[in-house]
Amino acid sequence: MPDRAPQPVDRQLPTDEARDLISLVRDIAQREIAPSAAEEEDAGRFPREVFALLSESGLLGLPYDAQSGGGEQPYEVYLQVLEEFAAARLTVGLGVSVHTLACYALAAYGTKEQQADHLPAMLGGGLLGAYCLSEPASGSDAASLRTKAVREGDDWVIDGTKAWITHGGVADFYTVMARTGEDGPRGITAFLVPADAEGLSAAVPEKKMGLKGSPTAQIHFDGVRVPDDRRLGDEGQGFAIALSALDSGRLGIAACAIGVAQAALDEAVAYAAQRRQFGKPISDFQGLRFMLADMATRIEAGRALYLAAARLRDAGRPFAKQAAMAKLFCTDAAMAVTTDAVQVLGGYGYTADFPAERLMREAKVLQIVEGTNQIQRMVIARHLAGPEGR
Ligand SMILES: Cc1cc2nc3c(=O)[nH]c(=O)nc-3n(C[C@H](O)[C@H](O)[C@H](O)COP(=O)(O)OP(=O)(O)OC[C@H]3O[C@@H](n4cnc5c(N)ncnc54)[C@H](O)[C@@H]3O)c2cc1C
């Protein structure tokens, strides 16, 4: 079970090259990633070798410039790659998205010298990244972060604790937002910190509801010294860089959500075709048929919304509002679709023998990461009605 392989998604892709890329990714996802996903998630095992394979295959730097070692793919293609990975295993899809987010500050704000020194290894040289904004006392209110970086001669010395860091303890580099000046958003600066910097350590990973193969850990900075050429962008520009990275990162989360939802729908459709009750397949009952139809409609609507936002980004037009809408809609859709998939499988859906319950637990985290869905509504409302309290 399921006895019928799911049909590949009928994707709108701009070029033959993009079509070839998606079929390569689907092949890797279904052959190298999906078969062990349930077992490894259950064991909480991080698939480092998969990320090495993706880096080797040029799949860890897809939306970045070719001259820096990236794949130079438009967002509309890169996001559909993420969707395929997330459908096979969210730890991989989300991991690629977070790695891409961690590369953004250097790719978009680094100097030519910084980019030449570090980007090729990050985009295709086997390194894995993490993005450090959240702290134990600052999540949604990220601008109140307290990790400090103090200038000492040509160096910066970083002290503090970052929380909830995806790839915490397994990453090779950390893109870190730290306070270098006044309170609030204008006193924050971005740094690129190597994992082997003295004084950097990872706590024991959090015990999570799902996404157990993806380590999420606090990262402690205890007098971590980095030279000034590890500063990304200007002093005080770090919060603007962090938010700009998140506009794109949210599109990645939206795509991952649709991947998870698609996997749940495929499972529900296959199960409903072979499970018989009252002398016929349960897929003959209108009550279930309508449920499947609603699940599929939510998925298509979510895919269309994230692709519309991606196409704005690819055209160089503002896309932050649409990215927030896509993150909100797609992750809520994934929660609803995976919950319905459990329902379609009945009692079996509530057991770990079928993927539906894991997909439901994974969908939940997508409503929280990279800005909760309450925060997405705040972002959207700001675009409509301006800042609060004017
Ligand atoms: C598995 C996982 C991986 C993560 N990976 C990373 C990572 O790699 N890097 C990183 O920096 N962070 C990461 N995060 C952190 C994540 O971004 C935060 O959890 C998220 O931003 C929410 O912050 P918080 O958990 O502190 O919740 P809080 O901000 O304390 O929010 C608690 C609740 O209050 C609501 N709320 C808060 N403010 C408002 C408001 N103004 N209006 C309405 N409601 C509000 C929130 O929506 C939420 O429901 C990760 C989190 C998880 C769970």
- Is residue 2 pLDDT above 70, yes or no? no
Task: Kindly state if the Cβ of 133 falls inside 6 Å of ligand 1.
Answer: yes
- Number of Cβ atoms within 10 Å of the Cβ of 103: 28
Looking at per-residue confidence, does 3 or 387 come out higher?
387
Closest-lying ligand 1 atom to the alpha carbon of residue 208 = 1
- The H or E element spanning position 190 is strand 188-194
370 is annotated as an active-site residue: yes
Is the minimum distance from the CB of 140 to ligand 1 under 6 angstroms?
A: yes
Question: Residue with the nearest Cα to atom 37 of ligand 1?
Answer: 140
Per DSSP bridges, beta strands 129-132 and 173-179 are: parallel
Q: At the fourth CATH level, which superfamily is domain 16-124?
A: Acyl-CoA dehydrogenase/oxidase, N-terminal domain (1.10.540.10)
pLDDT 10s digits, 23-53: 999 999 999 999 999 999 999 999 999 999 9
How distant is the alpha carbon of residue 73 from its chain centre?
17
Task: Look at residue 4 in the predicted model and tell me its pLDDT.
Answer: 52
33: buried, middle or exposed (CB in 10 Å: 19+, 13-18, 0-12)?
buried
Q: What is the pLDDT of residue 298?
A: 98
Q: Which residues pair with 193 in a beta bridge?
A: 174
N-to-C CA span, the chain: 57
The predicted-structure confidence for 299-325, as pLDDT tens digits, reads as follows 999 999 999 999 999 999 999 999 999
Does the pLDDT at position 225 exceed 60? yes
Question: Would the CB of 248 count as within 6 Å of ligand 1?
Answer: no
The answer, yes or no, to whether residue 131 has pLDDT greater than 70, is yes
The domain segmentation of the chain, as residue ranges, is 16-124, 129-239, 240-385
284: Cβ contacts below 8 Å, ≥ 6 apart: none
Residue nearest to atom 50 of ligand 1 (CA): 164
Nearest atom of ligand 1 to the alpha carbon of 130: 8
Q: Which residue has the tokens 């016929």?
A: 280
**What pLDDT, on the 0 to 100 scale, is given for residue 5?**
59
296-332 residues labelled b (16+ CB within 10 A) or e (exposed): bebbeebbebbbebbbbbbeeeebbbbbbbbbbbbbb
369 Cα to the center of ligand 1, angstroms = 6
Ligand 1 proximity of 180 Cβ (cutoff 6 Å): no
Ligand 1 close to Cβ of residue 147 (< 6 A): no
> Would you give the distance in Å from CA 224 to the centre of its chain?
27
Closest to 264 in 3D by CA, of 373, 364, 344, 348: 344
Comparing 4-18, 226-240, 286-300, the range with the smallest average pLDDT is: 4-18
- Is the confidence at residue 214, as pLDDT, over 80? yes
**pLDDT digits 0-9 by tens, 226-275:** 999 999 999 999 999 999 999 999 999 999 999 999 999 999 999 999 99
Residue among 367, 372, 374 whose CB has most ligand 1 atoms within 8 A, to mutate: 372
Q: Find tokens 């924050």 and name the residue.
A: 188
What span, in angstroms and rounded, lies between the C-alpha atoms of 100 and 85? 14
Tell me, using a 6 A CB cutoff, whether residue 174 lines ligand 1.
Answer: no
| Contact (CB, 8 A) for 178 and 136 | no
CA 162 / ligand 1 centre spacing (Å)? 13
Mutate to test the pocket of ligand 1, among 214, 368, 388 (most ligand atoms within 8 A of CB): 368
* pLDDT per residue as tens digits for the range 46-55: 999 999 999 9
pTM score, whole prediction: 0.97
Contact 85, 29 (CB under 8 A): yes
Q: Which amino acid residue places its CA nearest to atom 22 of ligand 1?
A: 139
Closest CA relative to residue 339, chosen from 311, 323, 359: 359
Cα 90 to its chain centre, rounded Å, is 9
Q: Is residue 215 within 8 Å of residue 178, measured between CB atoms? A: no
Mean pLDDT of the chain: 97
Q: What is the mean pLDDT of residues 11-18?
A: 94
* Gap between the Cα atoms of 41 and 214, Å rounded: 8
| Active-site annotation holder among 41, 83, 370, 388 | 370
Helices 286-314/238-274 angle, 10° precision: 150
In whole angstroms, what is the distance from residue 266 CA to residue 29 CA?
15
pLDDT-based confidence at residue 3 (cuts at 50, 70, 90): very low
- What mean pLDDT do residues 269-293 have? 98
List the CATH code of the domain at 129-239: 2.40.110.10
pLDDT tens for 138-179 read 999 999 999 999 999 999 999 999 999 999 999 999 999 999
For residue 59, give both structure tokens: 């799949």
Are residues 117 and 194 in contact, defined by beta-carbon separation less than 8 angstroms? Answer: no
Check residue 240 and give its pLDDT.
98
- Euclidean distance between CA atoms 140 and 236, whole angstroms: 20
CA distances from residue 357 to 33, 273, 345, 350, 362 in whole angstroms, order as listed: 19, 19, 10, 6, 9
Strands 231-232 and 200-202: unpaired
Compute the distance between CA of residue 21 and CA of residue 63 in angstroms, rounded to an integer: 13
pLDDT band of 81, cuts 50, 70, 90: very high
CATH architecture of the domain formed by 240-385: Up-down Bundle (1.20)
Asked if residue 244 has its Cβ within 6 Å of ligand 1, the reply is no
What pLDDT does 8 receive? 85
Report the distance separating Cα 99 and Cα 106, nearest Å: 12
The continuous run of DSSP H or E covering 19 comes out as helix 16-28
Least-confidence region, from 26-30, 211-215, 248-252, 385-389: 385-389
pLDDT score recorded for residue 388: 87
